[in-house]
A and B are shown apart, each in its own frame.
Chain A
Amino acid sequence: MNPQHLNASSLKSRFTRRFLRALTKINAQKPISSSSPREIFQRYGRIKAAADKSMANSVRSRRTWSRAMLWKLRSRSYRQASSGRRSAVKTSTTTSHQAIRKKTNHEKENKPTKTGEDQVGFVVQADELRELVPGGEAMDLCNLLDETAHYIKCLTTQVQVMKKIVDFYSL
């Protein structure tokens, strides 16, 4: 059977590549013997983070949501690292990220008064969408819908690939 020849630089293949690489890295890292629930949960968290991270990296910085997601993941890893090591360098990077965060929050405060008038009847849903889509707080409805469309596309790709990997592994 000929495997289907996909576009080498499509979102799917990019994501697959990165995710598999990350997976193997995780597999290489972890010790085999641990099986306590806490360890399991940690590993699960790492895998999920790896999935999100590889997805965001496949999109790079072309999209707002990917930038927001990458920033979130990085800040989380920095915080985890700094809690272990408490190095001054890490905290400075976190403060710079916080500064950026404050800026987006400030933008968000300016927006609701303006968009509240324009949106007719679906302000509630728009707010829910903002919570779901990473980086959606500081966007007006127009861009938010754009980002949502791309985000859904990437999420579906992610789910597809992961399903296939799981099926492949478990067979």
Chain B
Amino acid sequence: MDPPLINELHFSAANPSAYGLAEIWPFPINPGSDPNVATAGGLGFRMGNLGGFGDTSGHRDGSMEESTVTEQSVGYGAGTKRKDLSSEDESSKIVSTTTSANELNDSNGKRMKMLGTKNENAGSKAKVEANSAAGSKPGQNSKPAEPPKQDYIHVRARRGQATDSHSLAEKARREKISERMKILQDLVPGCNKIIGKALVLDEIINYIQSLHRQVEFLSMKLEAVNSRMNMNPSIEGFHSKDLGSQPFDVAGMIFGSQTAREYAQGSQPEWLQMHVIGTFKRAT
């Protein structure tokens, strides 16, 4: 804050290529002597890292500027810290430096003032952190050709070309299932237009339920018809006699019941008898 302090700390940190701590920090570093110096040294080192990263990304001029500014401010702040160190703890030391960094930024070329709010601290701290994060990226990008230090390079297979035995088995299974779904789609009427397995399955379920209901309904109807037929035992007896002997023709007779439709007017048992007799005579 005081001009003499600035002059003392005016090291060549403006030159961001300064890596070493000794270069940055002109004061002797004695870890045991003064906690201020230690933290200052740490801060300086941190700033040195920032400077280093700022250097490698040559295209990031803005960040370099920032880094230089922060370097100066950090160094500057470290100097001022000796004054009010007792009131602050370790973690907030960086905060205080960023406070002074803000001051420096604000009064670039102006007089320095002791300002600083917590919010500004947080903002600048985030800036510093972001800068360091951004700085770390170019740091990694600086080694483009070097592979990471691993034994295998993991490459993701393209879609549909997996070579893993598990995924191959899965694929075969899925193909089987889709094949059967196609067969089912052919069986169920009206399923060809539907796209999507879930909808097709819904249709199939509805169809099976409707078939169940039809069977129920037909068996009820059959029951009614049977009870009515039982009023006329003649026909029933006739049927039972012939059914055992001519099973094929019963089937043929029933399925050839287009002929029955021709005689649709007559709903009399006599016609039925005549028709049955006629069919069986043709068979024998």
Closest to B198 in A: A122
| Chain B interface main SS type | helix
Query: Which secondary structure characterizes the binding site on chain A?
Result: helix
B133 at the interface (CB under 8 A from A): no
**B220, CB-defined interface residue at 8 Å:** yes
Q: Is A26 an interface residue (CB 8 A)?
A: yes
Instruction: State how many angstroms separate the Cβ of A51 from the closest Cβ of chain B.
Output: 6
| Interface stretch (choices A66-74, A80-88, A103-111, A127-135) | A127-135
- The distance in angstroms between the C-alpha atoms of A2 and B283, with both chains bound, is 10
A32: nearest chain-B partner, CB-CB: B230
Interface string of B210-240 (1 = CB under 8 A from A): 0110111011111101110111010010011
Closest partner residue, chain A, to B260 (CB atom): A171
Count of chain A residues with a beta carbon within 8 Å of a chain B beta carbon:
61
* Surface stretch bound by A, among B25-33, B62-70, B169-177: B169-177
The reply to whether A51 and B255 contact each other, CB–CB distance below 8 Å, is: no
Q: Which residues, 223 to 264 on B, are CB-close (under 8 Å) to A? A: 223, 225-227, 229-231, 233, 236, 239-240, 243-244, 247-260, 263-264
Chain B residues with CB under 8 Å of A164's CB are 254-255, 257
Q: How far is the CB of A52 from chain B (nearest CB, A)?
A: 8
- Chain A's nearest CB lies how many Å from the CB of B277? 14
Residues of A within 8 A of B216 (CB): 48
Residue of B at shortest CB range from A126?
A: B201
Provide the residues of chain B in CB contact with A21, threshold 8 Å.
Answer: 243-244
Which listed residue, A26, A32, A149, A162, touches B184 by the CB 8 Å rule? A149
Contact B255–A6 (Cβ < 8 Å): yes
Chain A residue nearest in CB terms to B189:
A156
Taking a contact as CB atoms closer than 8 A, the residue among A12, A20, A48 that contacts B219 in the complex is A48
B201, A155: Cβ atoms under 8 Å?
no
- Show the binding face of A for B, using Cβ within 8 Å: 1-6, 8, 12-13, 16-17, 20-21, 23-24, 26-28, 30, 32, 35, 40, 43-44, 47-48, 51-52, 118, 121-122, 125-126, 128-129, 132-133, 141-142, 145-146, 148-149, 151-153, 155-156, 158-159, 161-171
